[in-house]
Amino acid sequence: MFDEFYGFSGQPFQLNPDPAFFYGSRGHKRAYAYLQYGLYQGEGFIALTGEVGAGKTTLIRSLLQELSAKNVVAAQLVSTQLDADSLLRAVATAFGLAVREHDKARILAELEAYLVSLVPQNERALLIVDEAQNLTPRAMEELRMLSNFQLQNRALLQSFLVGQPELRQLMRSPGMRQLRQRVIASYHLGPLDSDETRAYIEHRLKQVGWRGDPAFEEEVFAVVHAYTGGIPRRINTVCTRALLAAFLSEKHLIAVEDMEQVMGELAEELGESAGAAASAGGADDPAGLEDRISGVEKAMAMTVKLLREVIRTRERSEPDPLEKAP
């Protein structure tokens, strides 16, 4: 596919978060510094928020890679649409405890015993709660209660709360006052600016061996920024489609009109006008937009798969010119 056509070693704009592609924009570097500060403190809560696709998960995975050599035992919760009791069970399970049949009191006892057992090994526990905006107030309170686990003056559990902007609204509610008092740092990860959008695109291309093929017209990067609002996942989606279109046309230069055509196609598939999509780039997503984007991404993956099969079939069916009779 286009990775082979342009001599790439892999997919430069894959949608799955990969620490190998981490790009340190000003905002991402600052967010990373907050996370490191939180780790240094070793207690309380760190809150990291950002729009869908802003790069929060990639940031966390980059941090987890670093933790492997720092005596931190990290557990991650991804599904947070749970009630308080189910959340407690999920936390224990994330740390490797078999608590399926246990009642709440026993789960708490086993979880505390496990956290205490890390101390003699000079290890400590970190809980990363992804999609934390989906937590109910009772579930948030359960997390706060877990932060009470201590051995002498040492906190046994630290938590990172990672979520969309709604998480900030949840934490500002009157019932969250006690939890807010235990938040030692919080940061909202914003979009990339225009210069960072270009640097981000070039960074990801260079990670797979890009040496200028395909080339991009200078104005393309500003067009991409305007359409995507500087949200990394949206940039990945539009750049993947642009590379695919360029490959199918056997082009080695992506011009502004090529990118605008791709954006028009995406806007049509998403059920919106291209102008509306561009103007809404930095705004909150309308209801269902992310679901529609997900559908487009799946369709793109299927298209790429079918094209690969077509190319392989053609290669197998075409005779070798060296075998032709003189």
280-291 pLDDT per residue, tens: 444 444 344 455
- Give strand pairing partners of 154: 151
Average pLDDT rounded to a whole number, residues 218-234? 95
Closest alpha carbon to 131 in 184, 170, 74? 170
pLDDT for the residue numbered 195: 96
Residue linked to tokens 């905006």 = 133
Could you report the per-residue pLDDT of 107-140, keeping only the tens digit for each? 999 999 999 999 999 899 999 999 999 998 889 9
> What Rg, from alpha-carbon coordinates, does the chain have?
24
- Give strand pairing partners of 159: 45, 127
Structural domains of the chain sorted by starting position, each given as residue range(s) with its CATH number in brackets: 2-15+192-316 (no CATH), 26-189 (3.40.50.300)
Closest alpha carbon to 87 in 156, 138, 13? 138
Could you report the per-residue pLDDT of 254-270, keeping only the tens digit for each? 999 999 999 999 888 87
